Chains A and B, each alone.
Chain A
Amino acid sequence: MDVAQPKEFLLSIEGLTVSFDGFKAVNDLSLYVEENEIRVIIGPNGAGKTTVLDLICGRTRATEGSIQFRGTELTNLREHEIVHAGVGRKFQNPSIYEDLTVFENLELSFPRGRSVLGALTFRRDAEVINRVEEIAEMIFLKDHLDTDAAILSHGQKQWLEIGMLLIQSPELLMLDEPVAGMSVSERIKTAELLNTIIKKHSVIVIEHDMKFVEDIAHRVTVLHQGKVLSEGSMDRVKNDPKVIEVYLGH
């Protein structure tokens, strides 16, 4: 670990700013995530929540500031290099390969054979199959391995995408609204799934569903106009007058 870092955070974001034609979607943001923490980011629409995830995973380039992940600067890396460093990202709308089966979706996300040659010579051996089955069991899709992903329900698609992240074994998982559009029973199962996941990973979640946030969050960060408005336990944040005014009050 870097000597210069006083405390060992898994992810430390400092002074992060991104400006789209002068509009600062994220403005001088600092955020620290510890190992095995579930951090939930909430905030009104347009607060910059998704943009923060985009910046971390390299989809959007920062105008200023730094994102350090285990001492590695992520702001200059390309998307796939950030994935190799150990950061996984789930998108807001389920982003899966509809023309492939559940098994194939998971297999493609298995972290081996990621080069052109590697993909051509990749073999579906026992290790891959076991791992795919293990993950499929976690995400409640064990009986659907040969199903085309296109015909899964919305909730199952969300799980599949979470599974595709898990099979990469990232150290940090970023989930953008994982329970959006899910039924109540699916939400409960998803919360259960996330609670299993955090035993081995750190997780950043963006979520609007306050009930769900209370169930899972260790700490909550409230974003507003690209800045951190409040941060701390759910109880503290809930009673913060600033938060009530801009977000929870209505």
Chain B
Amino acid sequence: MSPALFLFRKREWIYFAILAFILAVVFPTVFDNFRLNLIGKYLTYAFVALGLVLCWGYGGILSLGQGIFFGLGGYCMAMFLKLESSTPEATAIQSTPGIPDFMDWNQLTSLPFWWEPFHSFTFTLFAIIAVPVALAFIISVAMFKRRVGGVYFAIITQAIAAILTILIIGQQGYTGGVNGITDLRTLLGWDIRSDNARYVFYFTCVALLLGSLILAQLVRVSKFGRLLIAMRDKEDRVRFSGYDVANFKIFIFCLAAAFSAIGGAMFTLQVGFMSPSFVGIVPSIEMVIFCAVGGRLSIFGAIYGALLVNAAKSTLSESFPELWLFAMGGLFIAVVMVFPEGVAGLFRQHIEPLVIRGLSIFRIGKVRKPRPAAE
């Protein structure tokens, strides 16, 4: 029991280095631009899964509505990009030039006031975090201060995800409706669909993800991290030890929302559009599955989980599109019944002991192939 708590233990530093190496060196060398862009897309879900590890795995707060925050972050970015590509010149054929095309199709004649600030890139960057976090704050204050928790909270987040989807689809003139905000071209004058831009976005995404991972780890090793476990276990005891439990839940829920929002914004940049199909119930549940498959107690696992499940999804839905939902359901059942701690749990039980034994017998630095890390 040492007084100084290090950010990572020695073994975890190795896992972190391995992860960084895979993401920043292996993938870019092995895959072509198209595949790399796909992986970049998968990684945007890793942000959400990372937030869920803290919120659900550690804090025991299951949110089935992370798509809300992912979507809001993505929409904020998309609004900026859409405005940039809707110059009066580019939209000269519209009856009202200079507004996004879908507004024109819906007989809007001027830009709604709340779209105006999204002309500013600085404001957009701020809004990407602030809008989802503000909503997360309102939801969590309303719920946690009233001590709504557990399955009730999960259902309410799911309901909000459904409401937001319906709202976005219904308000077509303001949001682009079911198609979403599409045909995004440039970011500050720079073509986002070029190979060059895709490389830059991929590396930005990796850098942000590793940064978020370190932030998550900071929370995890602080007393806050241990309080999360304590709250999951015996909420009343925490309360009667003098903590205002609701505040801690609000904070962690908002942090998870912020991570999701960053993921959403990076998604818009790399995929080139944003639509309600990334907001609603099904995508939100998928995000929980990424986290569960990776291992809900492992911040490293979250990232591998998002990569694995998404890669499986792409492969399977290319060949058997109708089977994917069944496969996903089966996967979730398997995770719950057979390996509740996900890939990270399997690694911890079966591979890590071998690695440790290997290290102690041969006393060499690096043994075995890299796999998701423990805890």
Chain A contact residues, CB within 8 Å of chain B: 57, 59, 78-80, 83-84, 88-89, 91, 95-100, 103-104, 107-109, 111, 113-116, 119-122, 124-126, 129, 145-146, 161, 164, 168
Contact = CB atoms under 8 A, between A and B. Distances in A.
A63 B42 CA distance: 55
Nearest to B5: A124
Nearest to B248: A116
Residue of B3, B226, B242 contacting most chain A CB atoms (<10 Å): B242
Contacts of B226: 100, 104, 107-108
Contact of B1 (A97, A125, A146, A161): A146
Given A97-B230, A126-B3, A91 B241 contact: no
Contact of B247 (A79, A116, A129): A116
B8 interface: no
Contacts of B320: none
B135 interface: no
Instruction: Give the 10 A-B CB pairs with smallest separation, nearest first.
Output: A83-B242, A122-B223, A119-B224, A97-B230, A95-B237, A119-B223, A109-B241, A79-B239, A116-B251, A80-B244
B223 A108 contact: yes
Contacts, number: 89
A130 to B, nearest CB: 11
Interface of B: 1, 3-5, 218-219, 222-224, 226-227, 229-230, 232-234, 236-245, 247-248, 251
A88 to B, nearest CB: 8
Nearest to B227: A119
A100 B226 CA distance: 8
Given A100-B229, A120-B222, A83 B240 contact: yes
Given A97-B230, A97-B237, 17 more contacts: A59-B240, A78-B244, A79-B239, A79-B240, A80-B245, A99-B232, A107-B226, A108-B223, A109-B241, A116-B248, A119-B224, A119-B243, A120-B218, A120-B222, A122-B222, A129-B3, A164-B241
A115 B247 contact: yes
Given A91-B237, A96-B234, A119 B242 contact: no
22 contacts: A78-B244, A79-B239, A79-B240, A80-B243, A95-B234, A95-B236, A95-B237, A97-B233, A97-B237, A100-B233, A107-B223, A107-B226, A108-B223, A108-B226, A109-B241, A114-B243, A115-B247, A119-B224, A122-B223, A124-B3, A129-B1, A146-B1
Contacts of B230: 97, 100, 108
Nearest to B234: A95
Contacts of A116: 224, 247-248, 251
A80 B239 CA distance: 6
Given A129-B1, A145-B1, A146-B1, A119 B237 contact: no
A97 B3 contact: no
Contact of B234 (A57, A97, A120): A97
B298 to A, nearest CB: 15
Contacts of A119: 222-224, 227, 243, 248
Contacts of B1: 103, 129, 145-146
Nearest to B252: A116
A59 B223 CA distance: 25
Contacts of B251: 116
Nearest to A121: B222
A123 B240 CA distance: 22
A98 B318 CA distance: 46
B224 to A, nearest CB: 4
Contacts of A99: 229, 232-233
Contacts of B237: 91, 95-97, 161, 164
A91 B236 contact: yes
A99 B237 CA distance: 14
Choose among A84, A99, A126 the residue with the greatest number of B CB atoms under 10 Å from its CB: A99
Nearest to B240: A89
Contacts of B234: 95-97
A63 B305 CA distance: 51
B5 A80 contact: no
Nearest to A122: B223
Contacts of A96: 234, 237
Nearest to B218: A120
Contacts of B233: 97-100
A104 B52 CA distance: 23
A185 to B, nearest CB: 27
Contacts of B243: 80, 114, 119
Contacts of A122: 222-224
A168 B242 contact: yes
A78 B233 CA distance: 21
Given A100-B229, A124-B5, A126-B3, A168 B248 contact: no
Contacts of B219: 120
